[in-house]
Amino acid sequence: MTTNADPKRPVALITGASRGLGAVLAAFLAGKGYDLIITARGQQALNSAADKARIHNGKVLPIAGDISDAAHRQQLGEAVRSLGRLDLLVNNASDLGPSPLPALADYPLDALNYVFTINVFSPLALIQVTLPHLKSSHGLIINISSDAALGGYEGWGGYGASKAALDLLSLTLANELEDDGVAVVSVDPGDMRTDMHQLAFPDEDISDRPLPDVTLPFWGWLLGQDHQAISGRRFKAQAETWEVQS
């Protein structure tokens, strides 16, 4: 894979980028001057998200595939190498698990294993693949979490446990990668009107939830911070204010 990338433009890789928060982030980052590598399972929806990001005249590589597939992760790594750098990795792809959400006592263990594969193992595996380029750029890793990681909500145990594991993974990586200049944060984007949120509430009207665009002020703030000052932190994107460590 070869490209005509501009070596001066930052590059972001976003998983789960075909719709919802991932697609909103792709368009936002393109508007901020990033070249993009975006991935999701569905090629058609991914191409649509890519077209919306391309209006900002940057390079956008839509690469469809399953993030749990090692060959697909290697393909993403090759795309990073083709662009010559990676400044931002957003691990946004997630799996909710069975819908309606089951109690932990009745949770199908094969389904739980898949939730952890997508929400924990795959983000770490992609970090491992792309880490050399993140080290070279002193880049930022953003792992998308959830309030379910902290809440102990009935029915949310499988998904919440996976996101709690991702939070700890993020904090540990932040400590381990500090000397390499790579920053890691986890972000709870809050309740949003997305396909995944509708799956969690299959019989409810979720039109009162905000669209993912509500998080845009947070992303603008986060990307303007010194990476090492925010590394290891867990943020709520829909909080009224955000602070860095003093």
- In 3D space, the residue among 52, 28, 140 whose CA is nearest the CA of residue 91 turns out to be 140
Return d(Cα 63, Cα 150) in angstroms, integer.
Answer: 33
Structure tokens at 43: 């090629």
In sequence order, the β-bridge partners of residue 11 are 35
pLDDT at 76: 98
pLDDT at 244: 86
Diameter of the chain measured on Cα atoms: 53
pLDDT at 4: 53
Domain 11-234 class, CATH top level: alpha beta
For 204-237, how does the pLDDT look when each residue is reduced to its tens digit (9 = 90+)?
776 777 789 999 999 999 999 999 999 999 999 9
**DSSP string computed for 108-167:** -HHHHHHHHIIIIIHHHHHHHHHHHHHHHHT-EEEEE--THHHH--TT-HHHHHHHHHHH
Bridge-based pairing of strands 35-39 and 60-62 is: parallel
pLDDT at 203: 72
Write down the pTM of the prediction: 0.94
**Three-state DSSP state, 185:** strand
| Cα dihedral across residues 33, 54, 22, 114: positive or negative | negative
Q: What are the CB-based long-range contacts (under 8 Å, 24+) for 103-108?
A: 103/154, 103/155, 103/157, 104/157, 104/158, 107/157, 107/158
pLDDT at 67: 97
The residues, ordered by sequence, that sit 6+ positions from 130 with a Cβ below 8 Å of its Cβ are 13, 76, 77, 80, 86, 89
Q: Which residues of the chain have pLDDT under 70?
A: 1-7, 192, 194, 196-201, 206, 246
pLDDT at 2: 45
